[in-house]
Chain A
């Protein structure tokens, strides 16, 4: 049982598999014996819009995190990482993101400039936020990007009390067969790197 609250704000783009990712986090925290809950806020966003998932560990009531109060922000995509950082992450906490970019329409149309490598870094420095940027790897299935992030969560022990074996147990709950094997192998590789 935790006494402390730990709020995790997760973002991505519809189609990246954020639902499975947050379910894995919730299950890992549960396997670690923590009280945990959360919610995916999808709406119409399955069609390539921004998607968000809230995960709350410890004594919380609403499944929704308050703005500017997250202890950890995780993003499956870089533009959404910036949004998570600006809207939900508290100062001096941690941002973990997979640096793949799915440009929003306004960027593709040239109405806004593309995100530069430096932009998120500067913002993190300014607010004393620990930035963990995960460079894209070549993967057989792009949805395994999420497992790479789980690997980083385990390796860097970013969620207090949740360890590699808990993430493994979560994947065991959610997958089977060769998909499970591939993802477990990837998780272990990253966590022990």
Chain B
């Protein structure tokens, strides 16, 4: 078996099939990164997995999952101003959490260098929006590299780290979902670890590091000067390169993954447009861009998400009085979704209808039957909790979702959670919903990892300002949605054992006095606790606890302890289908003649469904034989 960590730590040059995220981990070793911080979020957690797989002898960087993205950024800044090359990474919307810190970074002399890896998510594959973080880079005067594939991710990370160290400035490497996850054979260079230098080099003489009133201006001037130096560097960089098809009439300026889609979409085209692919996308390589604009009569700006590049290039052409026709986005569709090969073919067809056969540009999704949205796992405690909570609520009550696996509760049949903004919003949004509201009771949900990440201020506010709501904390002992990372309540961190910070004790200390706790599998108890709590006024908390069953069963399988137990359906089943229609464990299958069976690949035998059957026809694994239950596979 090939061990990823050992391969990535090789001193010799090698080639290996890896995803972009793993290629980045190797680049960190070669670049000499000392400190890496993160908060888990798709599409980036595999970077942490690759780092954690590195053998200790390879001197991997110090790594931590911090409490949230803002804290992760600050830890990396602290390391950098002390002389260590650092890196922080997180998902697209994580930058919103980090923004208060992030926007200051350009003003700081980061003597060790610092790379910020952003996992943007065009197509909103696993995010609540598809925000284009290039806007933030402009706001904060920070350069951006954008790789198109795993090979470039590896190379650009190293280049970004070198630039950051040299200019003592933050540099962004912007990844997108299918760059993070794309697998390909990457050619890695050889590497010899350098001797470690732990000297604390923090010195106010490198600053000032206190940006207050008048001192802001020299710092801002310095940030802008650095950025304009990087523009010259971008003009010289081979990452900004032209693919020359000898087409004097038409050209395309693009970057990142859309470049790859463009090459595929042009496969059968004979008169291919020339292509300028930008690898450093901010600041703009002006000379190269101008030269390209001068060489063509028409230039299409092919850009995923927003029109950042389009505006800048149009302004540049105007300033230089160029006659070139610049074609940007044509309609709102061009702002939406990932620029896959199909999407790019559509965009090209709208731009130059003669270029592609209409047929080539179709790509419209076939409406397919039986959609299969994600759902809570078999045996998930959240399902039990939602099933019970729903029974305690009235149709008119308002439920507020938060981020995590439990967000999936908004789907049928539970439909628990009617509004969602971002991590940790639920208590505060629910507080607002409760104002002047006597008739409709307000219930908020929150996961435990999210509680520590951004949930606490909303809770403090609810206590402080005496809001009237019920908060149900769904505690599953992990950060489940992103692949089961530990959080501060667990007693483990990325490096081993640590002191657990029990959620209950935090609530007590915050002054929450109305708290109830229950195992989420105890459905009737949870139901009556919700009913009880909703009769009381003020801020109430119920902690509905059950370990994440996917994590638990995975660990049991790994240790060889998992026994294929499953429930069976007794002949007494009178086909009320409550197990399917109200509880909805994916295990329950239905035949054409309305019979129900428990799927043998799916059921984990935990029995949380037993209580939901009005005729008690679901038999626990141990009871099945005794009561003569039949299994229909």
Which residues of A are at the interface with B, using a C-beta cutoff of 8 A?
13-15, 23, 26-27, 30, 35-50, 60-68, 79-80, 82-83, 86-87, 100-110, 112-114, 142, 172-176, 180
Q: Which of B149, B181, B341, B588 lies in contact with A108, CB distance below 8 A?
A: B588
Q: Which of B17, B340, B371, B599 lies in contact with A102, CB distance below 8 A?
A: B599
Neighbouring B residues of A61 by C-beta, 8 Å: 259-261, 263-264
Measured CB to CB, the nearest residue on chain A to B591 is A114
Neighbouring B residues of A176 by C-beta, 8 Å: 1
The answer for the CA separation of A103 and B586 in the assembled complex, in Å, is: 8
The answer for the CA separation of A1 and B411 in the assembled complex, in Å, is: 47
B138-164 interface mask toward A, CB cutoff 8 Å, 1 = contact, 0 = none? 000000000001000000000000000
B183 touches A104 (CB 8 A): no
Asked if B195 lies at the interface with its beta carbon under 8 angstroms from chain A, I say: no
The answer for the CA separation of A164 and B2 in the assembled complex, in Å, is: 19
Q: Knowing A47-B375, A48-B586, A62-B260, say if A106 contacts B370 (CB, 8 Å).
A: yes
The answer for the CA separation of A68 and B592 in the assembled complex, in Å, is: 31
The answer for the CA separation of A87 and B372 in the assembled complex, in Å, is: 14
Measured CB to CB, the nearest residue on chain B to A63 is B182
Output the least CB separation between B633 and chain A (Å). Answer: 9
Asked if B499 lies at the interface with its beta carbon under 8 angstroms from chain A, I say: no
A67 touches B184 (CB 8 A): no
Output the least CB separation between B356 and chain A (Å). Answer: 12
Q: Knowing A49-B372, A62-B340, say if A103 contacts B264 (CB, 8 Å).
A: no
A108 touches B589 (CB 8 A): yes
Q: Which of A40, A66, A172 lies in contact with B363, CB distance below 8 A?
A: A66
Q: Most chain-A Cβ atoms within 10 A of its Cβ — which of B260, B341, B600?
A: B341
The answer for the CA separation of A68 and B360 in the assembled complex, in Å, is: 11
Asked if B481 lies at the interface with its beta carbon under 8 angstroms from chain A, I say: yes
Asked if B13 lies at the interface with its beta carbon under 8 angstroms from chain A, I say: no
Output the least CB separation between A24 and chain B (Å). Answer: 11
What are 29 inter-chain pairs, A to B, with CB distance below 8 A? A23-B183, A37-B183, A39-B178, A39-B182, A40-B181, A41-B125, A42-B42, A42-B126, A46-B483, A49-B372, A49-B374, A63-B149, A63-B260, A64-B178, A66-B264, A66-B345, A80-B372, A87-B365, A100-B601, A102-B586, A103-B589, A104-B372, A105-B584, A110-B577, A112-B370, A114-B592, A173-B1, A174-B2, A176-B1
B366 touches A86 (CB 8 A): yes
B365 touches A39 (CB 8 A): no
A49 touches B365 (CB 8 A): no
A37 touches B184 (CB 8 A): yes
Neighbouring A residues of B364 by C-beta, 8 Å: 67
B182 touches A37 (CB 8 A): yes
Measured CB to CB, the nearest residue on chain B to A62 is B260
A43 touches B261 (CB 8 A): no
A46 touches B184 (CB 8 A): no
Neighbouring B residues of A113 by C-beta, 8 Å: 592
Asked if B529 lies at the interface with its beta carbon under 8 angstroms from chain A, I say: no
The answer for the CA separation of A90 and B477 in the assembled complex, in Å, is: 45
B87-111 interface mask toward A, CB cutoff 8 Å, 1 = contact, 0 = none? 0000000000000000000000000
Contacts A63-B184, A66-B342, A67-B342 supplied; 6 other A-B pairs, CB < 8 Å: A49-B372, A62-B260, A67-B365, A104-B371, A109-B413, A112-B369
Neighbouring A residues of B31 by C-beta, 8 Å: none
B19-43 interface mask toward A, CB cutoff 8 Å, 1 = contact, 0 = none? 0000000000000000000000010
Counting from the closest, the 6 A-B pairs by CB-CB distance are A49-B374, A43-B125, A176-B1, A37-B184, A61-B263, A61-B260
A38 touches B182 (CB 8 A): yes
Q: Knowing A103-B590, A114-B592, say if A67 contacts B363 (CB, 8 Å).
A: yes
A47 touches B377 (CB 8 A): yes
Output the least CB separation between B213 and chain A (Å). Answer: 46
Neighbouring A residues of B413 by C-beta, 8 Å: 109
Measured CB to CB, the nearest residue on chain A to B148 is A61
B394-413 interface mask toward A, CB cutoff 8 Å, 1 = contact, 0 = none? 00000000000100100111
Measured CB to CB, the nearest residue on chain B to A87 is B366
Output the least CB separation between A97 and chain B (Å). Answer: 15
B264 touches A62 (CB 8 A): yes
A47 touches B590 (CB 8 A): no
Output the least CB separation between A146 and chain B (Å). Answer: 12
Neighbouring A residues of B588 by C-beta, 8 Å: 108
